[in-house]
């Protein structure tokens, strides 16, 4: 798949609430994930660890009230999307966060994801 095709598929799956399924379809086995500097346990390497990171985040969420993902912007082997998510956590707190997500595509698979947001 081209970078554009990977990007379009990730956006399509995300908008339909299937972000977790992206890992099996779109990510390389040795993919990396990086949150902002200073976030505890913010980096992971390897598909299984990326899935565990995502599952740990999801376990803390009681309800997703809104999820918006922009159309992708392509730059060579990279693409980015903006994402907004409004969630209620299990402890009753509600947060609304916006971030820029940058993905690196190698050989038709996502090799790296990086998230940029205000902490």
Task: Catalogue all structural domains in the chain, each as residue range(s) with its CATH number.
Answer: 3-117 (3.10.450.50)
Measured distance CA(5)–CA(31) in Å, rounded: 18
CB 22 within 8 A of CB 10: yes
Percent of the chain with pLDDT over 70: 100
Which run of H or of E encompasses 55?
helix 47-59
pTM: 0.93
Return mean pLDDT, the chain. Answer: 94
Beta bridge partners of 75: 78
Instruction: Give the pLDDT band (50/70/90) at residue 54.
Output: confident
């Amino acid at each position: 798949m081209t970078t554009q095709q990977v990007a379009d598929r990730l956006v399509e799956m995300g908008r339909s609430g299937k972000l977790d399924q992206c890992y099996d379809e779109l990510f390389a086995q040795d993919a990396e994930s990086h949150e902002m500097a200073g976030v505890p346990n913010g980096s992971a390497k390897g598909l299984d660890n990326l899935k565990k990171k995502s599952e740990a985040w999801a376990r803390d969420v009681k309800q997703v009230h809104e999820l918006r993902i922009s159309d992708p912007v392509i730059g060579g082997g990279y693409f980015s999307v903006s994402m907004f998510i409004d969630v209620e956590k299990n402890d009753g707190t509600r947060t609304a966060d916006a971030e820029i997500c940058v993905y690196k595509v190698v050989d038709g698979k996502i090799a790296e994801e990086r998230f940029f947001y205000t902490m």
